[in-house]
Amino acid sequence: MLRNILTALAVSISLLAGPAWGSAIYSVDRDVGVGSVKGTIVTDGSIGDLTVQNILDWSITVTDVGGSFLLTPETSLFASNTPLDIGVGLTATSGALLFDFDDGEDYFLMQRYEIGDGGPFWFLANDWFGAGPSEVVYAGPDQFELGPDYEEIRDARLGITERSGTVAVATSISVPAPGSLGLLAIGLTGVTLTRKVRR
């Protein structure tokens, strides 16, 4: 009997402390000019300014007037004006991922392949080539594929919306917190033990 109680207690404690249960999933569903950004970002559950280590996975479809492109860990990278181990420009709360468009220094960029090739991207920044604080999406070919016509073609395709202030760019999808799962396990263990004692 004591052995069963200790086993149940050990299982409950492991559920309370288990890191796998701590991840948070955020849903992205944004209209950006004539384009859109849709998908999910998975973090390790950290609250506050995120680093690249805090972002575990993503599946983001960027769409412009010419088509769509799926950004995943296999097809894209992050960039920011700060080292990625210090920040990616996003701040996590329990309910949302936020970006401050009024911060004159920060930006967030999720882009296909190598940063700087101009390929499909989702860009949040205090300035888009003089247009002011903006959110921008582009799903087309990069500058190496298009050559000297890249900027003209990109500008004709991209979705752009002026933004200001701190904006929730993704909202949390409800997932059980580790503490809730642990409490559930303790409750179920108690019910099981009570039934065994009554027999």
- SS3 per-residue string spanning the chain: CHHHHHHHHHHHHHHHHCHHHHCEEEEEEEEECCEEEEEEEEECCCCEECCHHHEEEEEEEEEECCEEEEECCCCEEEECCCCCCCCCCCEECCCEEEEECCCCCCEEEEEECCCCCCCCEEEEECCCCCCCCEEEEECCCCHHHHHHHHHHHHHHHCEEEECCCEEEEEEEECCCCHHHHHHHHHHHHHHHHHHHHHC
Query: pLDDT tens-digit profile of 179-198?
Result: 555 555 566 666 565 555 55
The answer for residues whose C-beta is within 8 angstroms of residue 132's C-beta and 6 or more apart is: 126, 162
pLDDT of residue 18: 39
Question: How does residue 128 score in pLDDT terms, banded at 50, 70 and 90?
Answer: confident
pLDDT of residue 137: 95
Structure tokens at 95: 């309910």
Q: Read off the pLDDT of each residue in 161-176 and give the average, rounded to a whole number.
A: 87
pTM exceeds 0.85 for this model: no
User: How do strand 107-112 and strand 121-125 relate by DSSP bridges?
Assistant: antiparallel
Question: How does residue 20 score in pLDDT terms, banded at 50, 70 and 90?
Answer: very low
Query: Hey, where are the domains in the chain?
Result: 1-21+176-199, 24-174
Of 17, 36, 20, 19, the residue nearest 28 (C-alpha): 36
Question: What average pLDDT is seen over the chain?
Answer: 80
> Looking at per-residue confidence, does 18 or 12 come out higher?
12
Please check the confidence at residue 4 and state whether its pLDDT lies above 80: no
